[in-house]
Amino acid sequence: MGNKKTPTREANYSPPSEGSGVVSYRLAKKSNKNVIVGDSNQCIPKATLYEFGILTSSIHNAWMRYVCGRLKSDYRYSASIVYNNFVWAENITGKQKLQIEKYAQQILDIRKKYSDNSLADLYDSLTMPRDLLKAHQEIGQSC
- Domain ranges for the chain, please list them: 12-142
Confirm whether pTM is higher than 0.85. Answer: no
- Note the pLDDT of residue 28: 59
Rounded distance between C-alpha atoms, residue 128 and residue 95, angstroms: 29
DSSP code string of 15-28: -BSEE-TT-SS---
Assess whether pLDDT exceeds 50 at residue 6: no
- Note the pLDDT of residue 23: 46
Rounded distance between C-alpha atoms, residue 69 and residue 31, angstroms: 25
Answer yes or no: are the C-beta atoms of 25 and 136 closer than 8 Å: yes
pLDDT digit string, tens, across residues 97-133: 999 999 999 999 999 999 999 888 888 888 899 999 9
Count helices and strands (H / E) in the chain: 5, 5
Rounded distance between C-alpha atoms, residue 120 and residue 20, angstroms: 9
